[in-house]
């Protein structure tokens, strides 16, 4: 019932906006309001904070169904949970009560600010500094490629409190967009997910109280990694939805387009391609749903196990590789029409690419999987 409800919402309200969102590159505030009205922005956040109280699998289904018609709109849901997750994982009761209700109920957007110009896959290279002065910290530095950057009122910023300690010297802080010293730099122009705002954030002597720190000093890297373990399935769901949407429109096209006196779906070679696409999508779906169950069973408060980390990474890896393969084949099956912006598969192909890159590149996912294998991977 939940899937059917979200699918109907996506088909009736989101799909008609998808092409315009991509062409204009404007952030779709109307879609945010739509999701807020239907409770999708905090669908998997605890009810005590105004969320839907659903499990991770339900959240993944919501993202998947929206991504079938618009990857940008699906990212709104995924990014909201990403920004909230460090607070859910490591926040005190007071921090959760202060920040989560506005995020869960969609009154403000959230953001996760980890990546820097010299610290992408290598989070240990974080140069943003947080210098303690009494009961306060002074944050200085910059972040790049931040989803919802400049739009999110609440963000979790990772900064080094002890540079000599590498990853063990990184701490996490809740920072609000309106604090003095916070500014927005470059707004990126992207290949895909063009309606999602990706920005550089600048921090110039931003003073935050000690109460804004999540966990203890030096816990930031662990908080970030535990967050990604719990949010990568959402990106996998986005990728899965893109792939399914591409297959849907391709099957329809092959049934309507005629060449050599018959519809394209009567050619055996094309049937083989479609069969492979369907098989890859369903295999990815089963892995994602299994990963969602495993991650959900760990809860917010427990430390990530090797199994949680491995399945989260495997789901993200497989779903995003599948999305890229399926959308590439979809463009091929559309022929010349697949390269034209009047048809959705070229947008889906462009949108699919980022799922292999953000929240950890797929090369990093493979390292993570190997290192968390049972037996010889350590």
Catalytic residue positions?
359
Beta bridge partners of 136: 133, 209
CA distances from 262 to 254, 256, 266, 268, 269 (A): 10, 9, 7, 12, 14
> From CA 186, how far away is CA 100, in angstroms rounded?
28
- Name the residue among 323, 320, 303 with its Cα closest to residue 366: 320
Question: Checking phi first, is residue 338 left (phi over 0); if not, alpha (psi -120 to 50) or beta?
Answer: alpha
User: Within 10 Å of residue 14's Cβ, how many Cβ atoms?
Assistant: 25
Q: Indicate the length of the chain as a whole number.
A: 378
């Amino acid at each position: 019932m939940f899937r059917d409800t979200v699918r109907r919402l996506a088909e009736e309200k989101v799909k008609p906006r998808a092409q315009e969102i991509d062409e204009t590159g404007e952030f779709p505030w109307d879609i945010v309001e739509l999701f807020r009205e239907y409770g999708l922005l905090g669908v998997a956040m605890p009810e005590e904070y105004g969320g839907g109280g659903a499990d991770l699998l339900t959240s993944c289904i919501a993202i998947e169904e929206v991504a079938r018609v618009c990857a940008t709109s699906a990212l709104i849901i995924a990014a909201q949970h990403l920004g909230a997750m460090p607070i859910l994982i490591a926040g005190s009761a007071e921090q959760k009560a202060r920040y989560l209700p506005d995020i869960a109920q969609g009154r403000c957007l959230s953001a996760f600010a980890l990546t820097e110009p010299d610290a992408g896959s290598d989070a240990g290279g974080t140069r943003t500094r947080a210098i303690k002065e009494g009961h306060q910290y002074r944050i200085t530095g910059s972040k790049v490629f931040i989803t919802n950057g400049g739009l999110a009122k609440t963000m979790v910023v990772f900064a080094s409190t002890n540079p000599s300690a590498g990853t063990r010297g990184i701490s996490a802080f809740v920072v609000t967009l309106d604090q003095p010293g916070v500014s927005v730099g470059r707004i990126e122009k992207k290949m895909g997910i063009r309606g999602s705002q990706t920005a550089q954030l600048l921090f110039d002597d931003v003073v935050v109280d000690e109460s804004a720190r999540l966990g203890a000093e030096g816990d930031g890297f662990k908080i970030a990694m535990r967050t990604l373990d719990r949010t990568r399935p959402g990106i996998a769901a986005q990728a899965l939805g893109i792939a399914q949407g591409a297959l849907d429109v391709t099957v329809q096209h092959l049934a309507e387009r005629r060449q050599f006196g018959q519809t394209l779906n009567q050619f055996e070679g094309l049937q083989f391609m479609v069969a492979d696409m369907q098989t890859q999508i369903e295999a990815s779906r089963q892995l994602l749903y299994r990963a969602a169950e495993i991650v959900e069973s760990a809860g917010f408060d427990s430390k990530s196990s090797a199994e949680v980390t491995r399945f989260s990474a495997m789901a993200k890896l497989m779903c995003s590789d599948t999305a890229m393969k399926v959308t590439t084949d979809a463009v091929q099956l559309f022929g010349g029409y697949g390269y034209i912006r009047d048809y959705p598969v070229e947008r889906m192909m462009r949108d699919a690419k980022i799922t292999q890159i953000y929240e950890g590149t797929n090369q990093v996912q493979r390292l993570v999987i190997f290192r968390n294998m049972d037996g010889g991977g350590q």
